[in-house]
């Protein structure tokens, strides 16, 4: 692996102490040398509205689109809300996909990890997100699938990643590094 690829990381939970954000930061620490992960914030994006997305779109739209466009790949770290992705994540996907024909997502290798304190690990959100990625031409890593259940116990009280979770995250991010490498050479 000779290249270093910039990875736009989108975190679906906006909470300051979000477990999803902690997982995203842990993945950045565990990332192989060929990946540089950077969280792209989604909380300040106005709800997508074509009426305000004309010749002078909101600055937040333009900044977000530029951050995604200039990245080599995308990584989604999301909780599950009502068997789907949280509204801020869906909004970010919509903002990045517009204007029609100029999607910031197209062709970028992607991966999804869903993180939940519940038992199913955000399975519904993970698969809903994958459906959108198919339409947006994001080749999404299929294996290993990543559902982190019981995520409330993934970090100790000081915020340190649990040694029992670390191998799972390491395996996932290593596989993603290979995925990005393969797809950026195509």
Q: Give the residue among 42, 12, 2 at the shortest CA–CA distance from 115.
A: 12
Contact between 35 and 177 (Cβ < 8 Å): yes
Rounded to two decimals, the pTM is: 0.95
* One CATH from 3.40.50.360, 3.40.630.30, 3.10.150.10, 1.10.510.10 for 5-184: 3.40.50.360
Half-sphere exposure of 79 (CA within 13 A, CB side): 20
Q: For the chain, what are the domain ranges?
A: 5-184
Task: Tell me the two tokens of residue 144.
Answer: 């290993």
Q: What is the pLDDT of residues 97-152, one digit of tens each?
A: 999 999 999 999 999 999 988 888 899 999 999 999 999 999 999 999 999 998 88
Q: Is the pLDDT of residue 2 over 70?
A: no
Mean pLDDT across 92-99: 97
Task: Tell me the two tokens of residue 11.
Answer: 């975190």
Which helix or strand (DSSP H or E) is residue 168 part of?
helix 166-184
Residue 61: partners with Cβ closer than 8 Å, 6 or more residues away = 45, 46, 53, 95
């Amino acid at each position: 692996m000779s290249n270093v690829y910039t990875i736009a990381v989108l975190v679906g939970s906006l909470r300051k102490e979000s477990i999803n954000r902690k997982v995203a930061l842990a993945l950045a620490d565990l990332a192989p040398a060929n990946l540089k992960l950077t969280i792209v914030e989604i909380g300040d994006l106005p709800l997508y509205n074509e009426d305000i997305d004309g010749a002078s779109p909101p600055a937040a739209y333009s900044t977000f689109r530029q951050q995604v466009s200039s990245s080599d790949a995308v990584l989604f770290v999301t909780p599950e809300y009502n068997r789907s992705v949280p509204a801020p994540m869906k909004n970010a996907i919509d903002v990045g996909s517009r204007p029609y024909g100029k999607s910031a997502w197209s062709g970028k290798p992607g991966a999804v990890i869903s993180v939940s304190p519940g038992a199913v690990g955000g399975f519904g959100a993970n698969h809903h997100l994958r459906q959108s990625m198919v339409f947006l031409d994001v080749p999404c890593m299929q294996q290993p699938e990543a559902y982190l259940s019981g995520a409330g116990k993934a970090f100790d009280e000081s915020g340190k990643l649990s040694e029992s979770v670390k191998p799972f995250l390491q395996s996932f991010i290593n596989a993603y590094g290979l995925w990005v490498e393969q797809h950026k050479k195509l």
